[in-house]
Amino acid sequence: MNIHCLGINHRTAPIEVREKLWFSDAELPGVLASLKEGRMAECALVSTCNRTELYYVPAPGVTNGSPLWPTLAAKKNAAEAFRDEHFYSYSGMDAVRQLYRVVSGIDSMVLGDVQIINQVKEAFACAQANHCTGILLNRLYNTALHVGKRSRSETEIGEGAVSVSYAAAELASKIFEDLSRRTAMLIGAGETGKLTAKHLKGRNLGKMIFANRTRAHAEHLAEILGGVVVDFERFALELQGVDILISSVNSNTHVLTAPALRQAMKSRGNSPLFIIDIGVPRNIDPAANTIDNVFLHDIDGLNQIIDGNLSHRRAQTPKVERIINEEAAVFEQWHASLDVSPTIVELREAFEAIRSEEVGKHSHHFDPVTSEAVDMLTKRIINKILHAPMSNLKNGTGEHASDDTRTKVYFIRHLFGLDKRTHHENKD
């Protein structure tokens, strides 16, 4: 099988190396075109923050003799940044299984990554739009998407929060059944806090309040996510209508002390307050947990949730592997069938050539009516002789049908000299 994969990912190279081989959406068409013009009949490039993988079918007559990665690295003028050990390569069914593992999420930095299936879809759509794929990669791409969908519908590989921001939003959803009636305040505009706010908005949060030392940053977030801004120095006084407080501030001291929170709770009438402290060092005084109706969760608590969810996802991996093996067997059988059709045609042509030649030699012994009858009779004999072999060759048998079919094709071509016959015809 002439499908290959060349890749670099989070397991083989650090970020400072991987980022040098990241291709933007704008770069992909030109890179694909140059690769196809060179040594590839088909190619598609998947490039994300954690991996760059090239799937390709070599052009006729091109072998995988020399390493391909310098060619790919040269597209970014960064060949000096890489070494052989930064890359991995797969061929045949190993390349097929690699894409299946990627699209199912079990080869991701975050196990069960739900974004990767769309990233693969976009990468192959780009390759198809630029006429860089053909029968092999198109089939590989379509079956890979099927693997991704089966993995998510038949297993729980993508279930449960595995990031701090998502875990925080998931926890809030469990505590408050209807977030559309709730208000959250975000203190700080750090990346994790911002992602938490996005996840909460995605869960239909009713209202968002932002506070940050640099007010312009808070105003920018409010513009993006929708919400209002309060002065950082006064955020504790604005807690009256807040149900969820998220703190993500770089600070060596607590931005909210237990006494200040106790005072704020009095003004709230002691209505429950859910606090997510994502700061390191901690932003909220741990003594806040001693205050009635205050429910404080720090990053260690969230990590416990994440660890539990990751353990659950890891337990799903064997189920995903079974799906991959099932679909890989189907792909291998399909690929084997590509050899079956020309073999059937060539075998029938070989028998017909022998029949026709022998009938022709003796046709002078028969009158026209008898000659026509002999011609029809010998054709029927050939059809009956070939019927069972052709049917078995088309259908395959047994549990490992693809291996069985490929073996049959090999022996039929060898026994009847089809390759020699094809070679002889090509010479003529």
Q: Would you please indicate which residues are annotated as catalytic (active-site) residues?
A: 49
CA–CA distance, 397 with 403 (Å, rounded to integer): 10
With H, G, I as helix, E, B as strand and everything else as coil, classify residue 42.
strand
Q: What is the DSSP string of 210-268?
A: EE-SSHHHHHHHHHHH--EE--GGGGGGG-TT-SEEEE----SS-SB-HHHHHHHHHHT
What's 306-334 look like in SS3? HHHHHHHHHHHHHHHHHHHHHHHHHHHHH
What is the crossing angle of helices 368-395 and 299-362, to 10°?
A: 160
Query: If you ran DSSP here, which 8-state letter would residue 4 be given?
Result: E
> What are the beta bridge partners of residue 160?
none
CA–CA distance, 87 with 11 (Å, rounded to integer): 10
With H, G, I as helix, E, B as strand and everything else as coil, classify residue 269.
coil
Q: What is the DSSP string of 44-105?
A: EEEE-SSEEEEEEEEPTT----S-SHHHHHHTTT-GGG--GGG-EEEETHHHHHHHHHHHHT
Contact present, 130 and 29 (Cβ < 8 Å): yes
Query: If you ran DSSP here, which 8-state letter would residue 395 be given?
Result: H
Q: CA torsion angle for 183, 189, 193, 194 (degrees, to 10)? A: 80
